[in-house]
Structure 1
Amino acid sequence: MTAVAIIPARGGSQRIARKNLKLFNGEPIIAGSIRTALASGAFDQVVVSTDDEEIADVARACGALVPFMRPAELADAYTGTAAVIVHAINALQQRFDYTCCIYATAPLLQARHLREGLQSLHAAPEKSYAFSVCSFGFPVQRALLINDSGSLESMHPQYRDVRSQDLAPAYQDAGQFYWGRSEAWLRGDTVFSQLSLPVILPRHLVQDIDNEEDWLRAEYLYAALKAGGELG
Structure 2
Amino acid sequence: MKTIAIIPARGKSKRLPNKNTKLLGGVPLLIHSINYAKQHNFIDAIYVSTNDENIRKIALNCGVQVIDRPEGLSGDLEPTVSALKHVLESIDCDVENVVLLQPTNPLRPKDLLKDAFQTFVEKDFDSLFTVTRSYEKLGKIENSCFKSFNYAIGQRSQDLEPLYYENGLLYITKAKHILKNVIITEKAYPFEVDHVFAKVDIDTQEDFDYAEFLFHKSRTSSSGL
Same fold (TM over 0.5): yes
How far the C-alpha of 1:27 sits from its partner, in A, is 1.4
| Aligned-residue CA RMSD (Å) | 2.3
What are the residue-to-residue correspondences of 1:51-130 with 2, within 5 Å? 51-66=51-66, 68-125=67-124, 127-130=125-128
Q: Report deviation, 1:42.
A: 2.8
Aligned to 1:90, what secondary structure does the other structure show? helix
Choose from 187, 190, 197 the match for 2:180: 187
Q: 1:12 to 1:229 in 2, by over 3 A?
A: farther
- In 2, the alpha carbon distance for the partners of 1:226 and 1:176 equals 19
| Separation of aligned partners in 1, 2:121 and 2:222 | 30
Q: What do the CA deviations read for 1:179-229 (whole angstroms, capped 9, x no partner)?
A: 0011121233461x6421122222312211111111111111111112114
The letter of the residue matching 2:83 is: V
The change in CA–CA distance for 1:205 and 1:154 in structure 2 (over 3 A counts) is same
Equivalent of residue 174 in structure 1, options 162, 167, 171: 167
**2-structure distance, mates of 1:46, 1:219:** 25
The answer to whether the aligner puts 1:159 opposite 2:152 as a matched pair is yes
Identical columns (%) = 28
In the TM superposition, residue 145 of structure 1 has moved relative to its aligned partner by 3.7
Q: 1:154 to 1:178 in 2, by over 3 A?
A: same
The structure-2 alpha-carbon separation of the partners of 1:137 and 1:218, relative to structure 1 and needing over 3 Å to count, comes to: farther
- For residues 45-98 of structure 1, the C-alpha deviation after alignment (integer angstroms, 9 at most, x for no partner) is 0110001111011011122211x3111100111100111111111111112110
CA distance in 2 between partners of 1:136 and 1:219 (Å): 23
What TM-score results when the alignment is normalised by the length of structure 2?
A: 0.90
SS in 2 for 1:195: coil
The aligned residue for residue 197 of structure 1 is 189
* SS of residue in 1 equivalent to 2:46: strand
- Name the amino acid aligned to 2:114: R
The whole-number CA distance in structure 1 between the counterparts of 2:159 and 2:202 is 31
Could you tell me which residue of structure 1 aligns to residue 138 of structure 2?
Answer: 143
Q: Is the 8 A contact 1:39 1:111 kept in 2?
A: no
Amino acid at match of 1:9: A
Q: 1:14 is matched by which residue type in structure 2?
A: K
Q: Given that residues 21 and 28 in structure 1 are in contact (C-alpha distance below 8 angstroms), is that contact kept between their aligned partners in structure 2? A: yes
Alpha-carbon distance between aligned partners in 1 of 2:93 and 2:128, rounded to the nearest angstrom: 22
The structure-2 alpha-carbon separation of the partners of 1:137 and 1:209, relative to structure 1 and needing over 3 Å to count, comes to farther
SS of residue matched to 2:173: strand
Contact 2:99–2:172 under 8 Å retained in 1: yes
Letter in 2 for 1:183: K
Structure-2 separation of matches of 1:144 and 1:111: 35
Query: 1:167: how far off?
Result: 3.0
Unaligned runs of 5+ in 2: none
**Contact 2:138-2:151 within 8 A present in 1 as well:** no
> 1:79 aligns to what SS in structure 2?
coil
Determine the C-alpha separation between the residues in 2 that align with 1:229 and 1:71: 44
The alignment partner of 1:108 has SS state of coil
| DSSP 3-state at the match of 2:128 | strand
Q: Partner of 1:36 in structure 2? A: 36
- Relative to 1, partners in 2 of residues 1:189 and 1:56: Cα closer, same or farther, differing over 3 Å? closer
